[in-house]
Structure 1
Amino acid sequence: MRRLAFLTLRSRLFVLLLALVAVNCAGAVITIWTTSRTLELSESVVKRDVQALLAAEKLGSALVMQKGYVTYYYLTGDEQWLTRLREHQMAFHHWLGVAQERTRMEEGRQILYEIGEAYADFEAGRDQVIALYREGRKDEGAHRHWTVRDQFHNIYALTKRFKNLHEQQIQHNQGLFTRKAHRLTALAWAALPVALLVGVSLAVVLWSQILEPIRRLAFDQEKGIFTVPAEDARDEVKALSRRMHSLLEDVDRAHEELEESREHLIQSEKLAMVGKLAASVAHSIRNPLTSVKMRLFSLERSLNLAPTQREDFEVIAEEIGHIDTIVGNFLEFSRPPKLKMQPLSLSDVVDMTLQLLKHRLESYGVRVELDRKGRLPKTLLDPDQMKEVLVNLILNACEAMGEGGHIRIVEESGMMGDHGYVVLVRIKDSGPGIPDEIKDKIFEPFFSTKEEGSGLGLAIARRILQDHRGWIHVHSKPGQGTTFVVGLPCEERGLWLRS
């Protein structure tokens, strides 16, 4: 271990793991090689020596079975004994061929050659004996028969010699296998302490430089208490995971609060600027604008105008009304009215809004679908201010869709995480959607994609909801429409619905 002290932790782990893998791989290679050699030896013994030994046994048996049939024929004169003799003679030739195929030793081949030569002489002599017996020359046949018996014993001795040769070869292979098995066992015993040493070294490094530091990080040992649940007291990794997860949550929460504070600061700066600007605009523009509107109304009633002139008057009046609306938005944004809170169902505000916008929706050709499973529970709200929020959202949807289109309004109530019990109104249109690059800017003051917009509608809507301790979110994908979600806290319980 001291020799590895100059290495980094990663290098030490790599060296120890490499050594452990090398020992295991070496053991695996030796095992595979030995197994392969064992299989080769087994194949040699089974397919060559054992089968050759079996052929030698069958060869000797076929030879022995031929003994005595000529004598039986001499005593009885029955041709049946000669038929059996030919059967065993054919068996002898068959097993002689098998033995010649199976043997791989030169000495064995030589013995089989001698057996073949001797058996050919044996067959010729035996055929002469049978012929003499058939001719009735029994004395001469009997004399010749003793010569054939000597040839039989000589062939039988050769078969025994062939059998003993393969028995010795099998014993030799068995000894070879035993020696290889002993060598493999010795190598295994030699590799065992090496593997143990490397394993112990790896365990020491893991414990002293990884697990113990993890334990110190996971548990607050300085205070003498655990900073994780008791069930994790024995699992350092799980405890560390919990602590890291908690730290990441704290970082995310701090980041979110920082972003919110940054947004609030930016909004506060814009509000302060808008407040000063609105006050100046209100005093400088609204009074003269009111006088212009009154004079224009008087002229329109007193003059006999041609159709073209009347159309011009209407355009002038419309533009003056637009200017008045912008001025009103400035004033409303800079000096929000005091809320007049009362217990009321948000469903009632939705009904009032749809009734107010009935003719406007018809002029746009927009179809409205109201998805209501039951009226929303009552909550504290300012109906006029909430109606202004819904009017703004619905008119924005109409302008985004142009002529025609479909608006779906969904009412829901239920538990929502940290917000507790809430009531929601989702307003979904079938318009082109909001591009991703401007989605985060639509609630900022003075940001507008419309040529004649003031950019204050959605900013006022969000401020109204914040005054109600509520919120507004937008979900939109280009080409798939836009959904605005308006939420308010509620103390009453109702049915939670998801669409």
Structure 2
Amino acid sequence: MSSSDEEIRNDHYGFLSLRSRLYLALWGIFFLVTTGSGIMVWYIQKLQVLVNDDIPRSITAFQSAEALETALINQKGFVTYYLQDRDPEWLHRLGEYRQIFREKLTEAEKHASTLPQKELIREIRVNYERYILAKDEVIAHYVHGRVAEGQARHPEIRVLFFRIMQHCEDFKALHSRSMTALQEDVGRETSQVRHVTLFILMVTTALIFTLGMRISRQILVPLRRLAREAGAASCKAGNEVAVLSRGVEGLIRNAGEVSRELERSRENLEQAERMVMVARLAAGMAHSIRNPLTSVKMRLFSLSRSLNLDADQKDDFAVISGEIDHIDTIVQNFLEFSRPPKLKIQSVSPSDVVDRTLDLLRHRLESYGVTVRLKREKPLPPISGDPEQLKEVLVNLMENSCQAMAGTPGHIEILEIMEKDGAGCPVACLCLHDSGPGIPADMVARIFEPFVTTKEEGTGLGLSIASRIVANHGGTLAVVSQPGRGACFTMRIPLISQGQEGEGDGPHPHH
């Protein structure tokens, strides 16, 4: 008896039929893929909570502590300036920064989640009130000419000042350790996802290989022999093979889709890790750069008021001040990129946003020599969005267009129209087309990626932030450009559905 006959005999008298074993194997692969996908979704949701909730909360608290230090340093500087020239304007500025300090202290208190953090906030508040009272008494002594009495209080005030600064540093250190712990959590979750992915791929590959061998050994070989021996019966056998072949091809496609989905998940996890690193980098930059910049700007302003400068020296001071503002803008871009914007959703017409933007940029456009042509048949219907964030997108796009035209006279055309998306739903569409040199062809596909820029001094984050804001509104931001023919940026945002009209707190676009 041949081996093929023996296999047919075993299949006929076996406990499970061949069909049952094939179905069992297919259901096993389906169960494995479904379970693995569920595990992957669970891990990704955990990572989303870390990246979208916990990390931005720690960054915000860290920035609040930074702002407390800056406001306190500015208060000290304004009192010093007042004691030097007795200009009442310094006392007015002192009051403003005291209010800023209290607001930032309240914000930091909201983000204090542990007992040590709350205790530090309480110490800062108590010592700050004592600091203000002592400072006001010193100012009163100087105002009434009691200089010696005022100078006698300086050591006490100095102790309070440095005590508050130390509490702020301790508060930042607590949140810095919290961000480090969050990064470690992301690393552990990423490692778990890698292990699960590898296990699923190995087991799926083994099951598919086993199933293929069984099909070849127990189905294809007997069918070929029957086709040779049975003649007309081969037609029916051929149909069975075709059906089975289509089933296997579908299974292979599903396995390929799962593999691609796992690969996309891995890329998302790597992107989450990079976002954590960028967040820590942004926080570190704010700590390491912004305080020295604030001190330099204050000193520079003080020198410009106290020194008798000629025209060249004034130009030098203006250039230095401009470069400091440029550095501060770069740091601010990093901070905006590291945390997702918090949208304040309301019903607003995109046409109103365009009008506000043009009114805001009117003088700046004139300085660039750029004219704007607005094409609007009637105002666009309302969308559910944050007008300030959308205005930031339009400002960014128009600023880029003006800078691309390099100071030469040009124009920007804004077209407002209605379109339908792939599902047939209406969307508001804003098209901004400039007369600049356009975007190089090799950069068009990557222009919305972080750190990609066509400007020598740009950070490459403006368009990435703009694209993320539009995406958070449920819309898209696209670009079409040809060298020498300008660039056309198109922003599409869905309208408010009928079920949302009249509901102030209805469903919002995903964040």
Instruction: Report the TM-score range of the alignment, normalised by the length of the smaller protein.
Output: 0.3 to 0.5
RCO higher in 1 or 2 (8 Å CA, sep ≥ 6)? 2
TM-score, normalising length: structure 1: 0.48
The structure that has the greater radius of gyration is 1
TM-score, normalising length: structure 2: 0.47
